[in-house]
């Protein structure tokens, strides 16, 4: 797999654990309300889901990170530019999935999903970032609220998925030592894995990871007008 080697540009962003409010969901389950700063939006999350910088209660559990970036703070030149983000916003308004995150993410697997609070998000996975020995399981949703771009990133340590679905993984001792990597790294294996997890055809860990993130998106609500 060929990846562009680059570093993330640190932009003015909010990536934080915000104040949470216990609430009762429609089905009677206890959730907690997590506001998304500056947007008037909030998520209703299971009590046990770690929101960065929190650490999960168990090493193999998923973590959600929330990043809010002001559009005016993106630079004209750099890893992620203002023009790229504006183009992403325009494409999303037309129902087109565009990834603008500096080269990470599987752009070919991106899709547009409707949000319950109105509007839509581009949803895509990150299965490896920049080099062949990197293995990760991340689902990313990007949407816009006023003049802010919101990125939700749902990360799962891969150990349980590797154990339950070993056919997708392997080793390259010459280049990666003992590290577990994608078997025959390339777009085809990632596409097969992604289609399988979307269909619920993988092991419990992978399926719960995908359905868990879709539940996060489904919990999005408008609570106050965006500032």
Q: Each residue of 72-131: pLDDT tens digit?
A: 999 999 889 999 999 999 999 999 999 998 766 787 899 999 999 999 999 999 998 877
Structural domain span for residue 161: 13-222
Beta bridge partners of 169: 182
Query: What is the bridge-based pairing of β-strands 50-51 and 63-70?
Result: parallel
Average pLDDT over residues 44-70: 95
2 found inside a domain: no
Q: What is the mean pLDDT of the chain?
A: 87
Q: What is the pTM of this model?
A: 0.86
- Per the structure, the count of domains in the chain is 1
158 found inside a domain: yes
* Residue that has been written with the tokens 């777009």 in this structure: 187
25 found inside a domain: yes
117 found inside a domain: yes
Average pLDDT over residues 172-179: 92
In contact, 165 and 203? CB cutoff 8 Å: yes
Geometric angle at alpha carbon 132, from 176 and 111, rounded to 5°? 145
6: pLDDT strictly greater than 60: no
- Count CB-CB contacts under 10 A for residue 84: 17
Average pLDDT over residues 149-171: 97
In contact, 189 and 7? CB cutoff 8 Å: no
> Across the chain, how many H-helices and E-strands are there?
5, 13
5 found inside a domain: no
7 found inside a domain: no
42 found inside a domain: yes
143: pLDDT strictly greater than 60: yes
142 found inside a domain: yes
């Amino acid at each position: 797999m060929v990846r562009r080697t680059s570093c993330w540009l640190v932009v003015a962003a909010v990536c934080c654990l915000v104040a949470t409010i216990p609430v009762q969901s429609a089905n009677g389950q206890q959730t907690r309300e997590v506001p998304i700063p500056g947007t008037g939006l909030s998520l209703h999350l299971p009590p046990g889901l770690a929101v960065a910088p929190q650490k999960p209660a168990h090493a193999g559990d998923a973590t959600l990170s929330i990043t809010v970036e002001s559009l005016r703070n993106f630079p004209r030149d750099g890893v992620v530019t203002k023009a790229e983000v504006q183009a992403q916003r325009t494409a999303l308004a037309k129902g087109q999935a565009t990834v603008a995150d500096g080269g990470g993410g599987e752009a070919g697997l991106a899709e547009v999903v409707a949000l319950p609070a109105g509007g839509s998000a581009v949803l895509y996975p990150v299965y490896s970032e920049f080099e062949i020995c990197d293995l990760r399981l991340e689902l990313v949703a990007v949407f816009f609220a006023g003049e802010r771009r919101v990125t939700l990133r749902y990360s799962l340590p891969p150990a349980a998925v590797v154990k339950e679905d070993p056919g997708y993984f392997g080793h390259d001792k010459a280049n990666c030592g003992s590290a577990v990597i994608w078997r025959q790294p390339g777009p085809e294996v990632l596409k097969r894995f992604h289609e399988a997890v979307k269909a619920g055809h993988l092991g419990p860990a992978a399926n719960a990871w995908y359905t868990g993130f879709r539940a996060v998106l489904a919990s999005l609500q408008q609570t106050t007008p965006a500032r």
